[in-house]
């Protein structure tokens, strides 16, 4: 489990960077009244996240028989790690997409909406799924990762639907209203 978590944390660094970057870019473009630039930034970062996710997933699957040796020489651990890498690849892909889409939501000022999506996806669906798969169906660590995948996949789907149906002109107007509301004239 420690090797799996370490691997996921390592791989997650790239999409979380994309998410942070797009958050800043989208908020700046919306605040500047440039909804088309914000939409373009969203399209570019989603393309980058999907491309990076596929490449990292393919690479991790390609080296799955060797990856465990970075951590141990015990054959049993290395074989188990090789068997769980495909699940990690899917999990990391979903986590990467949701990290980028979460960054978009933050850039749009949808923090409250993000809380509800996170609570629903992880705590109402993902965590119970992980518990059921791990302890009821006895999938062990694989069940835990499947539950995490279900939660992050649902979160990614929800944020993707929200992003796809976003009226960027309206979001730019709301951003402008927030900028104007924070302006205090000097007298």
Q: Residue written as tokens 């996806």?
A: 121
Helices (H), 35-167: 35-62, 64-67, 75-107, 111-118, 127-131, 141-164
DSSP three-state, residue 179: helix
Buried b (16+ CB within 10 A) or exposed e, 107-146: bbbbeeebeebbeebbeebbeebbeebbeeeebeebbbbb
Helices (H), 68-108: 75-107
Position 89 in a domain? yes
Position 187 in a domain? no
| Total number of domains constituting the chain | 1
Please give the pLDDT value at position 131: 96
Structure-token pair, residue 175: 């951003």
Please give the pLDDT value at position 182: 77
Please give the pLDDT value at position 186: 66
Domain encompassing residue 51? 2-182
pTM across the whole model = 0.90
Position 114 in a domain? yes
What is the average pLDDT across 104-133?
96
Q: How far is CA 119 from CA 3, 12, 110, 140, 144, in A?
A: 27, 20, 14, 24, 18
Q: Residue written as tokens 């006895």?
A: 138
What's the mean per-residue pLDDT of the chain?
Answer: 94
Position 49 in a domain? yes
Instruction: Provide the 8-state DSSP code for 166.
Output: -
Please give the pLDDT value at position 187: 63
Position 125 in a domain? yes
């Amino acid at each position: 489990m420690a090797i799996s978590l370490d691997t996921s944390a390592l791989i997650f660094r790239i999409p979380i960077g994309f998410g942070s970057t797009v958050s800043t870019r989208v908020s700046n473009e919306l605040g500047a009244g440039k909804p088309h630039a914000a939409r373009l930034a969203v399209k570019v970062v989603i393309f980058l996240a999907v491309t990076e996710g596929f490449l990292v997933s393919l690479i991790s699957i390609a080296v799955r028989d060797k990856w465990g040796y970075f951590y141990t020489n015990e054959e049993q651990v290395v074989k188990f790690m090789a068997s769980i890498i495909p699940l990690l690849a899917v999990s990391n892909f979903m986590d990467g997409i949701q990290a980028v889409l979460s960054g978009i939501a933050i850039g749009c000022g949808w923090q409250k909406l993000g809380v509800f999506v996170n609570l629903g996806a992880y705590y109402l669906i993902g965590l119970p799924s992980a518990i059921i798969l791990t302890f009821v169906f006895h999938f062990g660590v694989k069940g835990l990762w499947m539950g995490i995948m279900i939660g992050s996949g649902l979160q990614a789907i929800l944020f993707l639907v929200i992003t796809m149906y976003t009226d960027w002109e309206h979001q730019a107007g709301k951003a402008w209203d927030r900028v104007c509301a924070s302006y205090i004239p000097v007298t």
